[in-house]
Amino acid sequence: MTTISRPDVRPANPNFSSGPCAKRPGWSLEALCDAPLGRSHRAKVGKAKLERAINLTREILQVPADWRIGIVPASDTGAVEMALWSLLGERGVDMVAWESFGSGWVTDVVKQLKLPDVRRIEAEYGTLPDLDQLDFDRDVVFTWNGTTSGVRVPNGDFIPADRKGLTICDATSAAFAQRLPFEKLDVVTFSWQKVLGGEAAHGMLILSPRAVERLETYRPAWPLPKIFRLTSGGKLIEGIFKGETINTPSMLCVEDYIDALEWAQSVGGLEGLIGRADANFAAIDAFVEKSGWLGHLAVEPATRSNTSVCLSIIDPDITALDAEAQAAFAKGLASALEKEGVAYDIGAYRDAPPGLRIWAGATVETSDLERLMPWLDWAFASQKAALKAAA
C-alpha cells in the first residue's frame, strides 16, 4: 500500500478521552483561585458556591423552574443508582440498553434490586432498540447517548406526554451537547467530567414534579443507604436541591464546574455548546466519509452521537482477520497515536467492538480534530504495513 508520511502538524491539545474529557479551552489552575478551600461546604460561602452551580446548570441547560436540580455523590453512576433504588418498584419497568452502561443498569435492576416485573428492550452495539416496544404506562429507564457505542436517541418524540410511568434518563454524554426535552424526562442524570470537562466524582440529579410526587408517595420495600435517601418523613429533602449536599463535596471541583459553566455562557450557552459539538462531529464525519477504511459504529446517521464518536475499521484486509487480531490492530492504532503524543485514550471501550472512540464534546477545538485526522491515516497505513511485513 502507499506509504504515508508522518504529518507535520499536531493537535494543540491531544486529549480526546471520553471521560474525564478535555478541559475547556484556555483552562489553567488559576481559574480555581476563588475556591473556598479549607472552609465548610455548609458555611455561607460554600453554600453560595453550590447554589451558583445549580443555578447556572438550570440556566444553561434550560431546565424548567419546577424541576429540582441536586448535586449528588459518585458521579453519574451515583445519580442513576439513587434514582433506581429510590423510585423503581411502584410499577413494572422497561429497561432499555444498546451499550455497556445501559446494560449495567439492566443488571442492577434485575440482579440487585430483583424487581419482579422487568422487560428488557435491548439492541446490539451500533443500533437502537425498537422504541415502539416501550410501554410508558410502566417506568422506562434508558441512556440518551450511548457513550460506548456512539448511538443516541435522535429526539424525544418516542415519549408520550400523557405517560403514566416515569422516564429515567442517563444523559451523561448528552447534557450540554444535545437538546434534552425536559418535559418528557422525569429524571435526568449526568456528571461534570463529560461535555464541560469538569472533574470527576460528582453527579447531577434533575427531578420533575412527577418524580418528586413518586418519592413522596411511594416507599421502596428495601432499605436505602443514607447516601441514596432523598426524602425524610415522607417529604422531599429540599435542601439537597439548594446546595445542601448529602455528603461532603470537593469545593475545588465545585469551583471548576462553575468555571466550566461560566465558559459555557461565554460561548453562547446551550446553543453555542451544541454548535461546537456538531462542528466537531462534522470534522470527524467528513474524514470518515473519504477514508475508505473507517466507518461509524452507529448504523443510522440520525442516531450518531456528536460527542462520543465511535468508529469501526472496515478495511477488508482487517475485517478478514479473526476477532482477536482485529482487536489487536485497533489497539495498535490507538497506541501508535498515543506514542506520538497526538491522541490520548481513543481506543474503543473495553466491552465494545474493536475500533476507535474519539470525544467530540464542546471543550474540544475543531481545529484539533482536523489536525488529528491525517494522523489516523498515518497510523492506519503504518500498522497495516507492519501487519503485512509480519505475514
Residue whose entry in the numeric block shows the C-alpha cell 440487585 = 112
**Which range of residues forms the domain containing residue 280?**
269-390
| Claim to verify: residue 109 and residue 225 sit in the same structural domain | yes
From 206, 231, 266, the end of a domain falls on 266
Question: Is 151 among the domain residues?
Answer: yes
pLDDT band, very low/low/confident/very high, at 391 (cuts 50, 70, 90): confident
* Mean predicted confidence (pLDDT) in 344-363: 97
d(CA 236, CA 11): 48
Question: Is 221 among the domain residues?
Answer: yes
| Claim to verify: residue 258 and residue 274 sit in the same structural domain | no
- Whether the CA torsion 94, 80, 210, 222 is positive or negative: it is positive
| Claim to verify: residue 143 and residue 283 sit in the same structural domain | no
d(CA 295, CA 126): 11
The CATH code of the domain that includes 291 is 3.90.1150.10
Which grid cell sits at 186?
422525569
Is pLDDT above 70 for 342?
A: yes
d(CA 303, CA 312): 16
| Claim to verify: residue 245 and residue 305 sit in the same structural domain | no
Is pLDDT above 60 for 1?
A: no
From 266, 284, 305, the end of a domain falls on 266
Quick check: helix, strand or coil at residue 167?
A: strand
pLDDT band, very low/low/confident/very high, at 40 (cuts 50, 70, 90): very high
| Claim to verify: residue 65 and residue 108 sit in the same structural domain | yes
pLDDT band, very low/low/confident/very high, at 351 (cuts 50, 70, 90): very high
From 197, 231, 266, the end of a domain falls on 266
Question: Is 298 among the domain residues?
Answer: yes
d(CA 83, CA 218): 13
pLDDT per residue over 26-35, tens digit each?
999 999 999 9
| Claim to verify: residue 41 and residue 80 sit in the same structural domain | yes
d(CA 12, CA 78): 34
| Claim to verify: residue 209 and residue 90 sit in the same structural domain | yes
| Claim to verify: residue 44 and residue 122 sit in the same structural domain | yes
| Claim to verify: residue 53 and residue 180 sit in the same structural domain | yes
Whole-number pLDDT of residue 2: 61
- CA 204: distance to chain centroid? 12
Rg of the chain over CA atoms, in angstroms? 22
| Claim to verify: residue 136 and residue 260 sit in the same structural domain | yes
The CATH code of the domain that includes 156 is 3.40.640.10
* Mean predicted confidence (pLDDT) in 117-140: 98
Whole-number pLDDT of residue 106: 98
pTM: 0.97
pLDDT per residue over 204-219, tens digit each?
999 999 999 999 999 9
Question: Is 4 among the domain residues?
Answer: no
pLDDT per residue over 254-311, tens digit each?
999 999 999 999 999 999 999 999 999 999 999 999 999 999 999 999 999 999 999 9
Give me the number of domains the chain comprises: 2
d(CA 290, CA 292): 6
Average pLDDT, the chain: 97
CB-based contact 180:37 (threshold 8 Å): no
Whole-number pLDDT of residue 385: 94
Cis amide linkage into residue 181, ω under 30° from 0: no
pLDDT per residue over 138-193, tens digit each?
999 999 999 999 999 999 999 999 999 999 999 999 999 999 999 999 999 999 99
* Mean predicted confidence (pLDDT) in 43-49: 97
| Claim to verify: residue 234 and residue 375 sit in the same structural domain | no
| Claim to verify: residue 280 and residue 135 sit in the same structural domain | no
Helix axes 75-87, 209-217, angle to 10 degrees: 50
